[in-house]
Amino acid sequence: MTVIIRNVVELRALVLGWKAAGEVVGVVPTMGALHDGHLSLARAAKAECERVIVTIFVNPKQFNNPDDLKKYPRTEEADAALLRTVGVDVIFAPLPDEVYPSGFATVVSVSGVAEPLEGALRPGHFDGVATVVSKLFGMTMADRAYFGQKDWQQLQVVKRLVRDLNIPVWVVGCETIREADGLAMSSRNARLDAVARAQAPALYAAMMRAAQAVRGGQAGALEACAAEVLAAGFDSVEYIELRDASTLGPAEGMERPLRLLAAAWLGGVRLIDNIPV
């Protein structure tokens, strides 16, 4: 049975009982508006943990754009129905006051890996993520936490945070789930109109070609990728960059794993994607 819990005291009482029985607890942090990408994380957690908590919390602190926060889809009933089919134990869906009660004064800020790309373009975003993820780890006391590679930089930030603060949780990064045409699933895709939705897969297609060109040692692959994305109808490209896969610093040589990461605007929606090189 899947229960919905809104307060931390109740959640912790339940989790302490599980832990006393020696059960491994997994958590999947989400902001709701669930799709198959989220469900793949919940299924991975179910496969590896005796107990699974999915958190649904649209975290105001990680939105640098108030309009984006306002427009963020909220579909709790449908989300709960999907999570019941997966068989998660708990949906933890707290109200903002439960997470940030009055007087809340702490910010968890990761430097280095959190600074470039999304960190530079969305000021405060990763502080919000690191703060809420730290809290969710504390509130759920989970042994394992499941994050998507879709948000590659976020995954690296969370791994850094967990190492730096000795948080006793094992972070698992799960593969990006895509639509049949290659578009990475995202709650924001619902805001694309029909024309933009048809153009959206061009980002991943161009990135795949660029990754191949980089592997082949071709010069100008990233510039060509940006041009291709714009020619496909995107309004603007914020970045298409090749980076060290774990530090997100400059890509130096091909010895260490590299990642191609991109953010681009289409029909008023900001899409991000990343692939290995």
User: Looking at the annotation, which residues are catalytic?
Assistant: 38
Minimum distance of ligand AMP from residue 96's CB (angstroms):
16
Round to whole Å and give the CA distance between 108 and 97.
Answer: 18
- Considering the rule CB under 6 A, would residue 150 count as an interface residue with ligand AMP? yes
E-strand stretches of the chain: 3-5, 25-30, 51-56, 90-92, 144-148, 170-174, 236-244, 258-266, 269-276
Q: Look up tokens 């899947």; give the residue.
A: 2
- Considering the rule CB under 6 A, would residue 148 count as an interface residue with ligand AMP? yes
Round to whole Å and give the CA distance between 58 and 73.
Answer: 9
- Considering the rule CB under 6 A, would residue 8 count as an interface residue with ligand AMP? no
Q: HEC profile for 4-69?
A: EECCHHHHHHHHHHHHHCCCCEEEEEECCCCCHHHHHHHHHHHHHCCEEEEEECCCHHHCCCHHHH
Round to whole Å and give the CA distance between 71 and 59.
Answer: 13
**Identified binder of ligand AMP from the candidate list 131, 140, 156, 186, rule CB under 6 A:** 186
Round to whole Å and give the CA distance between 114 and 123.
Answer: 10
Q: Which of these ranges, 13-21, 75-83, 117-125, 184-192, lies near ligand AMP under the rule CB under 6 A?
A: 184-192
- Considering the rule CB under 6 A, would residue 177 count as an interface residue with ligand AMP? yes
- Considering the rule CB under 6 A, would residue 134 count as an interface residue with ligand AMP? no
Phi, psi at residue 193, to the nearest 5°? -80, 180
Q: Which of these ranges, 119-127, 181-189, 190-198, 203-211, lies near ligand AMP under the rule CB under 6 A?
A: 181-189
Q: Look up tokens 């578009």; give the residue.
A: 183
Residue (72 or 224) nearer to ligand AMP, CB? 72
Minimum distance of ligand AMP from residue 120's CB (angstroms):
19
Q: Which of these ranges, 98-106, 162-170, 178-186, 231-239, lies near ligand AMP under the rule CB under 6 A?
A: 178-186
Q: Which of these ranges, 6-14, 73-81, 136-144, 147-155, lies near ligand AMP under the rule CB under 6 A?
A: 147-155
Round to whole Å and give the CA distance between 56 and 148.
Answer: 15
**Identified binder of ligand AMP from the candidate list 174, 196, 225, 262, rule CB under 6 A:** 174
Nearest partner of 260 among 172, 149, 159, 166, judged by Cα: 149
Minimum distance of ligand AMP from residue 195's CB (angstroms):
22
- Considering the rule CB under 6 A, would residue 128 count as an interface residue with ligand AMP? no
**Identified binder of ligand AMP from the candidate list 5, 27, 41, 248, rule CB under 6 A:** 41
Interacting residues with ligand AMP (CB under 6 A): 30-31, 37-38, 40-41, 147-148, 150-151, 174, 176-177, 184-187
